[in-house]
Structure 1
């Protein structure tokens, strides 16, 4: 029997978790592993992108701002946001797509709260697909504890985007599995050979946010023995982080770096195929690191930050390099070794392309479909 799964997202902004969810839903549908619907609680770019994939897509409108209940919100705003989530959850439980589903999958902490109410009303199990490490260094000590306990109480199963993320959860004896945010291994634009040292192009891909460390990268590049010919900052700002982009522009000018900022792009592949080196430079442990796999698949030589998910992707010296997050001298040294050695770049990039194939979204989709099927079967057996 093909299960019917509804995925719930609290935002329709095109950030990493939402894009990963779209790829997973597409693979589940394309391979007929599950009947899939996506419900967003606001309108936004992801709504049309989801519909364009032929996926059953709904927008549940309500009095909730996706920017509410952010880290650092005051108690009144948190309370108002929580009440809005509970109201939307109750409405979601009566939504036709939810009523027809076998399982509800919450794609964020906010979606978890809504989903708990909705799943109870619809009498279906709730799975929490966790895209963030539930840790004090990201959420703060008390919020991380609260979120972990919410998951433990509300979810009947857990899908984590890495072993690093799974280690931060309180799953008890409930089913849990790692489901890497796979990539779509489609055709890529043609790319040339790795460039000579003075012509090197370095790229960083991802949302422009302080914890992503783009400022660390700029300072590390400024200290390299041979400066690259071009530095690509690929990504836009969401969630009120525009001030950081202004700071990056100022820093690039101050360091006299040849930086090109693309802003948000729907398809970064042409930029990645024009880059020799892709740097992932998060200063906090990354839950997974989709951009690392994307850079490998595009044929870039990759440098990534540890600890966290990138340690599960990159095999140091074999298909990429790892440095400690926030360590500017170490990052400069890694850049020096790659910029100055096109043959090393070529070798790592070739191995990286092979490694990227290990994270094909179709592999993830099959494991997720099997996991959701077990959750539904267990729930059915419990009610016999």
Structure 2
């Protein structure tokens, strides 16, 4: 790469399903970026289909990893998962995109393991993206030791999506000298500065993959306790992934059992997320534990919505409870129901929360996220060329 040429960055993803990490990467690459981006991942999934219009060359031939393999304690599934990582590394090693890259960006922990296996000779700098805390609960009994033993030792740089995520790295862990926290692109292109609050609440919404850990069942129980039989509707925006269709079936049954079946709409995946957010009056985030980042929370704040979120993790870095949003105990439908009753009954409180949300400091647009990534990629590449610091 000459001084005048843009850096060639290969982005590696272990899945193309439209999960939070994958959508964040897709948003990053659909924005104008100063590096020459390429993408290598598996074929199954739609998260990166839009990149075909962005002139981002893609190789979509990585083998798919077994669903649940990283968290499984079943020896057979664990063996299949490890074999899948090895096979993916072999495919990546032979890829022209990999050989031609000036820097490799692994979008997730499994992708970082694949990249480390593919380039043990350290021919090109590697940036590993940590999208969740470095714990057994997040990465699983297989993923955690594999990430520590392979990706940690090989990586030249680390990006974490929140201070909470970065703080989960044990002090004894030997990590790259180049570490940073960068907010994931959340689809924020512009922010609402003057909130639009209706006198009556008509719609309460939740955005996120339909997954038990995301807490949609907690939201439904709280909504039923607070708003059953009223004119308020609940909207669930998101679809199940990775073999989680049974959870959606149970949620639909639960809505009927709670007597709110006629008040709840399952929207599935929604492309126009900004339009959806602008159509609701209250946004709920109900994860059962600390969320690594909480893209939904950032999106709601940027659109000047009253936001109710589970306390802890990334959302706690953005919400000052009672000021620009409200934090509730995770997994507590009674606490969430009490907040919903209060918000529905108080236009003034909704207005105050939305006004403060509109002024939340530090929220980055997707274009600003691109700038932060570009600066970090350049820093890591420069250090690797002159002699990587660790």
TM-score relative to the length of structure 2: 0.89
Q: Deviations over 1:31-72 (max 9, x none)?
A: 42x22111112232123222223322221244x345262422
**How far 1:84 sits from its partner (Å)?**
2.6
**How far 1:127 sits from its partner (Å)?**
1.3
Identify the range of structure 1 (298-307 vs 355-364) with the bigger mean alpha-carbon deviation: 355-364
Give ranges in structure 1 of 5+ residues lacking alignment. Answer: none
Structure-1 separation of matches of 2:265 and 2:9: 41
**How far 1:225 sits from its partner (Å)?**
6.6
Q: Deviations over 1:64-93 (max 9, x none)?
A: 345262422522222222223223213312
Structure-2 separation of matches of 1:323 and 1:70: 30
Structure-1 separation of matches of 2:89 and 2:284: 39
Q: Which residue of 2 aligns with 1:279?
A: 284
Q: Which residue of 2 aligns with 1:12?
A: 16
Match of 1:361 among 362, 366, 381: 366
Structure-2 separation of matches of 1:55 and 1:66: 27
Structure-1 separation of matches of 2:137 and 2:122: 35
Q: Which residue of 1 aligns with 2:234?
A: 231
Structure-2 separation of matches of 1:192 and 1:200: 16
Q: Which residue of 1 aligns with 2:221?
A: 219
**How far 1:290 sits from its partner (Å)?**
0.5
Q: Which residue of 2 aligns with 1:85?
A: 85
Q: Which residue of 2 aligns with 1:117?
A: 117
**How far 1:321 sits from its partner (Å)?**
1.0
Structure-2 separation of matches of 1:168 and 1:187: 31
Structure-2 separation of matches of 1:136 and 1:85: 18
Residues 78-227 of structure 1: pairs in structure 2 closer than 5 A:
78-120=78-120, 123-140=123-140, 144-169=144-169, 170-172=173-175, 174-186=177-189, 193-197=196-200, 199-224=201-226, 227=230
TM-score relative to the length of structure 1: 0.90
SS of the residue 1:124 aligns to: coil
Structure-1 separation of matches of 2:152 and 2:62: 28
**How far 1:272 sits from its partner (Å)?**
1.5
CA distance 1:339–1:150, change in 2 (3 Å): farther
Q: Deviations over 1:74-123 (max 9, x none)?
A: 22222222223223213312312111211111112221121012233671
How many residue pairs get aligned? The number is 377
Structure-2 separation of matches of 1:35 and 1:339: 48
Structure-2 separation of matches of 1:19 and 1:378: 29
Identify the range of structure 1 (180-189 vs 233-242) with the bigger mean alpha-carbon deviation: 180-189
In 2, are the aligned partners of 1:11 and 1:66 still within 8 Å (CA)? no
Matched, 1:318 2:323: yes
Structure-2 separation of matches of 1:93 and 1:173: 23
**How far 1:276 sits from its partner (Å)?**
0.2
Give ranges in structure 2 of 5+ residues lacking alignment. Answer: none
CA distance 1:72–1:307, change in 2 (3 Å): same
Matched, 1:295 2:300: yes
Q: Deviations over 1:280-321 (max 9, x none)?
A: 000011010101111222332111111100011212222111
**How far 1:333 sits from its partner (Å)?**
2.0
RMSD: 2.5
CA distance 1:5–1:143, change in 2 (3 Å): closer
